[in-house]
Amino acid sequence: MEDLRFPIGPFVAPAMVNAEMRKRLINDIRYLPSLLEIAVQTLDAHQLQTPYRPGGWTVAQVVHHVADSHMNGFTRVKLALTEDNPTIKPYDQEAWAELADVQYTPINVSITLLHALHARWVSVLEHMEAKDWDRTFFHPGNNASYDLSTHLANYSWHGLHHLAHIERLKEREGWK
């Protein structure tokens, strides 16, 4: 049986990220906003309020969550590039998913935000030098430091993970 929570499997940090893999991961970041937009463009209001799994977020909450998470992900890259192993600020994604902006803002606002955000993010990523990928930030919630290569792999996975939530729901429900 398919794991509805992790349709593409849980994130597993790669042992090493080489230049070729980085190009693929950056392309995942580049194209995610368009893929997400395509995935939701034909959904009606009822479908957008359907949870992707029992007890899970609605499709609309997933879209807004991706925007929230990726804003944090981009900020973490910029902090790591400009500070020495900065401590990042974790956030309560469950609480953020219940805020008014998620409840009352149309998803096209978050889709538009993702297009702009990812264009800036890709610009930074494509212009990093080899040594920059080893720069780190400290995550106090996990009590660990992460290098930017691992962070890139994580956000590539994160976007595809949530895209798969929506696509699998559409398949299960027979939505076009």
Complete domains list, the chain, with CATH: 19-173 (1.20.120.450)
> Which positions of the chain have pLDDT values less than 70?
1-2
Q: Which of 83, 46, 65 is nearest to 159 (CA)?
A: 65
For residue 45 the two structure tokens come to 């209001």
- What phi, psi does 82 have (nearest 5°)? -115, -5
Looking up tokens 């929506």, which residue turns up?
Answer: 166
Q: How confident is the model over 4-34, as pLDDT tens digits? A: 999 999 999 999 999 999 999 999 999 999 9
Q: How confident is the model over 59-76, as pLDDT tens digits? A: 999 999 999 999 999 999
CA distance 150 to 155: 9
